[in-house]
Each structure stands twice: as C-alpha cells, then as structure tokens.
C-alpha cells in the first residue's frame, strides 16, 4: 500500500450510515467522543432506507391487548429455530421501548390511527400486531431521515465517498485506526483506538436481492482480516416476496413488504392455488424461512419462476394509502398492485449471522466493534424475525457507543506507527463478481447440498486471482470473494436443515449435533476462511 496522503484522528471511526452507525455516532457524540463517520457512498446509501415493514417493539402505552416483551421474545426464538441466544434476545427486546422513545424524540414520526395511538401492523412470525410503521411502508426511510437530520444538526463529521480498506492494528493486535481510499483511490489514514463496522449486509453475493448496491459484505471482510470471527453466516434470509420482473432480473429488486400479508394478502401459485395452506399454523404469516422454502417448492412443482401475492381484497384506495412505496414500485414495472395479484419470488434479503459481537457491539478484537446487520449478536439465530433488525440497530447502536466510551477510559489511544501501516495487504484474492453471484445463486440459495457447495467452492478457487486493492470496486470484489468463501465453509459444515439453511442432502433438523453456532475465522496458514470453535467474548453475559 502506498503511504497515506492524509491523516486524521478520532476517538471512534464509524463505518456505515445505516440505523446502527448513525445511532452510534449520535450517541458517541453526546458522550463527548470525537466521532468520524466513513461511508463509501453518500449518507444513507445503505439498506436502512429500503426497510419497509417497521420496528418490532412492545411499547408500554401502545400495544395489543395481551402483548408483552416476553411474547415478543418467544416469537423471536420461534423464528430463530433454536439458535437465538436467550440473553441477547431478552436484552434487545427489553431495551426496545426506550430506544424507540428516544428515536421519536430525535424526530422520527411513526404512523398513528384515527385515535392518535401509534398504528401497529403484523408480519411473518409475529403472533400479534406489534410493528410500528412510518409513511405506510417507508419506515426505514423515515428512521434514516430523522437520524441524518440529527447528525446534520449536531455536526457529526462525515467522510462520504471513502471506502474502508483495512483496520490497522498495533503489534499487540489492538485497533489503531482505519485505512481508507477516496473515490480517486487516494489513500488516507484515520488514527483511532476504536473502529465500529456498521456496514450492513451481503445481499450482492446473489444475482437478485432486496439489498442496496453497496451491500457487498465489506464489514465482514474487514473484520475477518482484523482477526474477528464470523458466526451463523450460513443463515442468509431470503425474503419471500420480492417483486418478480422477469427471469433475467439482476441486482437490487423492489421489496413487497410482508405487511401486505399482515393486512390479509395471500400467496397463490400460477394455477391460483394457495401456497401456505397446510404448511404452517400461521399460514401466510409463518416465519420467513418457512414461507420462502414453501414458495421455492411450489415454484418447482408448477415449473414457474414466481408465485403471486394477492392483496386485491383491500380495495384500490386502501392499498394505495397503506402501501404507497409498493404501489409506486409495482407501477414502475407496469403492475397495478391495488387491482391485480403481484408476481413475486424469494430473493436474498438479510444476513442473520455476521461478526461475532455482544449486545454492546464488542468483538473478539480489542478496539473493533460491530453493530447492525453486519454483526451477529445472537438475536436472530437461524432466521430473523421480521422487523427485528431496525430494533437491533437502534439498541446495539446506542449501547456500542457507551461501550466504546467505557473501554476508552481504560485504554490509552495508540497511534498507528510505521510498523503497522506498511504491512497491510496490498492485494487480495478476487473472483469476478458475476462468477461469485452465479455460483452463490445456483448453489447457496434455498436448497444446498455438499456437492453444490463443493462445486461452488472449486469454481471460486479456480477463478481467484490476486488483485491490488486500489479502487472501491476492487475492495468490494475482494469482500464479496472472501464473504462467499466464508459462507461456503459455514454452509458445508452445517450438515442439517435449520431456519434459512436448507440442505437437500440433510433435510432434517439435528438438535443433538447442531443446536449450536458455527464460527469462521481466517486460517493463519492458508489465509482462507475456515470453521473454528467460538471463544467467549469480553463483556458477554
């Protein structure tokens, strides 16, 4: 790596401008920390703005009769198929009401009913109506608007158009800063004792995804290279209802929120038969993994590449009012969602696993923190409960800022010195993005087998070339390659079907051998991701 052309200094560098990153930056600023937010795009280019459904939370003054945080926790565990961590679930759902109240005080406006009480909707896996929404089906956009406005008001320093290249560490392996590249590939160095990765997900590993273009697994690769472990990576959630616009559709596809089914919409196949009847007691509102797998089976049985989501019972006026985003996105594809069934198919949506982290965002590496979709706190297990992700981003975003402030009190900031800067890798193994997306879509979607996983791994190995990390695109491609290898290792290891991980060669859930998480780290000898036993995290309860 050529020497940095500029240097800056902060107490905390936050990589990413989604709900977790912005919440952390605002909280850290209020605690007196010098914060610098780094994002490869513009502010708010991540997945947060695309979240339609809402925030799952049980507010003391606005909940359905009989709903409780314990019931929310039970639904979370049921969706997570045995792999949620009880402590993480309990703490995140319990902290939820406070963080949502603070978000409202920050300026976020949630929808209310005619009685002025907060409106609540329902999505897959929820046993009752407990999801707050904004703008009908534009909750993420409203949350992001409020957080960005607060960040502007409070003058949070933000470096847009800068790609995080590598976490720099001292010879003692503690975080010392972050190397970045600007849009013209000029390298820069930010000295900081704390780096928070809040970079979002990995949907761009697949040909079709609901995720933003920048969801290329960057934070997972950064954390792996810095020495952190990734857990539960094999559990990639496929959203059941992503708008189907033809077999050749690639890249980010419009989401059709689960709340459409929450308001009574039903899935039918191309012959007009219900998809979810007899599959699960919650039928169309079964947890997402169950619905996506059922749709995949029905598409195979009917030799069709999509099914249909029929919400015409709402009537045109009500549909347009309740789901303006879905209505507009469908209209852009020539579909009148208010009057005709919507063609949909499952697509990659959410990484249930990620950087092994506590609810306070601490990872295995001193000074490295993770929050939001990139982190694996134990909340989601093998399948995330709908609308738990904005909640997790808000809770962990706030708590990680407090954890950084606490940790920095015991630790003198270490500036990166000549010993740690030049040793950084200048090249990484990179496979063409099209090849990665083709192999992942073919072999690592809903329905995986040892043969398919091995074939994908062999193709990636054969197609891998060393490439200098001298542009944002190269950094993304290297991240996609490394994340794909890590996911393949985790997927091959788990020889059972559980949650989002559907093995055609091991169709049963094996609670004796596999009711535990897998963790992937970089193998020191090969430099490749490999499965390891997890180690206890500092500060984990």
257 near ligand SIN, judged by CB under 6 A: yes
Query: At 276, is the secondary structure helix, strand, or coil?
Result: coil
Catalytic residue among 130, 133, 288, 320: 288
Cβ-based nearer residue to ligand SIN, 349 or 399 = 349
Of 10-18, 216-224, 385-393, 432-440, the window that binds ligand SIN (rule: CB under 6 A) is 385-393
Angle among Cα 380, 384, 388 to the nearest 5 degrees reads: 90
Identify which of 221, 228, 169 has the alpha carbon closest to the alpha carbon of residue 363.
228
Residues binding ligand SIN: number (CB under 6 A): 11
Of positions 18, 43, 53, 378, contacts ligand SIN by CB under 6 A = 53
Cβ-based nearer residue to ligand SIN, 370 or 386 = 386
Tokens representing 517 are 């998480």
Task: Name the burial class of residue 23, with classes exposed (0-12), middle (13-18) and buried (19+) by CB atoms within 10 angstroms of its CB.
Answer: buried
Cβ-based nearer residue to ligand SIN, 39 or 257 = 257
Per-residue binding letters, 335-354, with ligand SIN (x by CB under 6 A) = ---------------x----
Q: Alpha helices of 80-130 — where are they, by DSSP H?
A: 86-106
Cβ-based nearer residue to ligand SIN, 62 or 386 = 386
Cβ-based nearer residue to ligand SIN, 347 or 453 = 347
47 near ligand SIN, judged by CB under 6 A: no
Of positions 358, 387, 483, 485, contacts ligand SIN by CB under 6 A = 387
Q: What's the longest Cα–Cα distance across the chain? A: 67
Rounded to a whole number of angstroms, the minimum distance from the CB of residue 149 to ligand SIN is: 23
Of positions 24, 26, 51, 486, contacts ligand SIN by CB under 6 A = 51
Of positions 76, 383, 389, 519, contacts ligand SIN by CB under 6 A = 389
Which residues have CB under 8 Å from 54's CB, separation 6+?
A: 121, 123, 131, 132, 133, 134, 139, 259, 387, 390
211 near ligand SIN, judged by CB under 6 A: no
- Answer for the pair 368, 228: CB distance below 8 angstroms, yes or no: yes
386 near ligand SIN, judged by CB under 6 A: yes
Does the annotation count 288 as an active-site position?
Answer: yes
Cβ-based nearer residue to ligand SIN, 350 or 514 = 350
Task: Name the burial class of residue 517, with classes exposed (0-12), middle (13-18) and buried (19+) by CB atoms within 10 angstroms of its CB.
Answer: buried
- Answer for the pair 204, 211: CB distance below 8 angstroms, yes or no: yes
52 near ligand SIN, judged by CB under 6 A: yes
- Answer for the pair 124, 78: CB distance below 8 angstroms, yes or no: no
Rounded to a whole number of angstroms, the minimum distance from the CB of residue 51 to ligand SIN is: 5
Per-residue binding letters, 90-129, with ligand SIN (x by CB under 6 A) = ---------------------------------x------
Rounded to a whole number of angstroms, the minimum distance from the CB of residue 289 to ligand SIN is: 13
**Which residues, in sequence order, are bridge partners of residue 9?**
191
- Answer for the pair 92, 396: CB distance below 8 angstroms, yes or no: yes
Enclosing H/E stretch for 342: strand 342-351
Which residues have CB under 8 Å from 303's CB, separation 6+?
A: none
- Residues annotated as part of the active site: 288
- Which residues here bind ligand SIN, judged by CB under 6 A? 51-53, 123, 257-259, 350, 386-387, 389
């Amino acid at each position: 790596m050529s020497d940095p052309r500029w240097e800056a200094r902060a107490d905390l560098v936050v990589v990413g401008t989604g709900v977790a990153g912005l919440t952390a930056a605002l909280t850290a600023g209020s605690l007196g920390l010098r914060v610098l937010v780094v994002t490869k795009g513009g502010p708010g280019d991540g997945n947060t703005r695309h979240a339609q459904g809402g925030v799952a939370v049980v507010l003391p003054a606005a909940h359905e009769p009989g709903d409780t945080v314990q019931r929310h926790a039970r639904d979370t565990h049921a969706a997570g198929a045995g792999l949620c961590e009880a402590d993480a679930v309990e703490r995140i759902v319990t902290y939820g009401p406070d963080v949502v109240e603070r978000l409202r005080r920050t300026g976020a406006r949630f929808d209310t009913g005619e009685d002025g009480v907060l409106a609540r909707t329902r999505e897959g896996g929820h046993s009752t109506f407990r999801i707050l929404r904004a703008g009908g089906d534009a909750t993420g956009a409203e949350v992001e608007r409020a957080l960005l406005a607060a960040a502007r008001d409070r003058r949070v320093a933000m470096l847009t158009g800068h790609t995080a290249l590598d976490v720099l560490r001292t010879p003692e392996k503690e975080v010392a800063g972050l190397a970045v590249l600007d849009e013209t590939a000029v390298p820069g160095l930010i000295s900081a004792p704390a780096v928070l990765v809040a970079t979002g997900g990995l949907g761009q590993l697949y040909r079709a995804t609901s995720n933003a273009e920048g969801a290329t697994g960057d934070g997972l690769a950064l954390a792996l290279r810095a020495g952190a472990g990734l857990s539960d990576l094999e559990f990639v959630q496929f959203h059941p209802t992503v708008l189907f616009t033809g077999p050749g559709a690639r890249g980010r596809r419009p989401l059709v929120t689960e709340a459409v089914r929450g308001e009574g919409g039903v899935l039918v196949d191309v012959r007009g038969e219900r998809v979810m009847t007899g599959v699960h007691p919650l039928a169309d509102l079964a947890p997402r993994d169950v619905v996506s797998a059922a749709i995949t089976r029905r598409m195979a049985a009917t030799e069709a590449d999509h099914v249909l989501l029929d919400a015409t019972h709402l009537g045109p006026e009500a549909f347009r009012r309740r789901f303006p985003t879905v209505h507009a996105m469908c209209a852009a594809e020539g579909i009148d969602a208010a009057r005709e069934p919507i063609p949909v198919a499952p697509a990659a949506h959410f990484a249930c696993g990620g950087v092994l982290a506590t609810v306070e965002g601490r990872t295995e590496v001193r000074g490295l923190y993770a929050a939001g979709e990139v982190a694996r706190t134990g909340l989601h297990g093998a399948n995330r409960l709908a609308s738990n992700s904005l909640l997790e981003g808000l809770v962990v975003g706030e708590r990680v800022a407090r954890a950084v402030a606490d940790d920095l009190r015991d630790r003198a900031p270490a500036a990166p010195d000549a010993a740690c800067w030049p040793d950084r890798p200048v090249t990484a193994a990179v496979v063409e993005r099209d090849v990665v997306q083709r192999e992942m879509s073919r072999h690592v979607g809903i329905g995986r087998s040892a043969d398919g996983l091995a074939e994908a791994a062999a193709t990636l190995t054969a197609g891998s070339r060393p490439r200098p990390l001298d542009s944002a695109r190269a950094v993304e491609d290297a991240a996609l390659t490394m994340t794909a290898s890590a996911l393949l290792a985790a997927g091959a290891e788990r020889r059972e079907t559980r949650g989002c991980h559907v093995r055609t060669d091991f169709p049963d859930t094996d609670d004796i051998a596999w009711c535990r998480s897998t963790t992937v780290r970089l193998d020191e000898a090969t430099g490749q991701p490999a499965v390891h036993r997890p180690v206890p995290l500092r500060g984990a309860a």
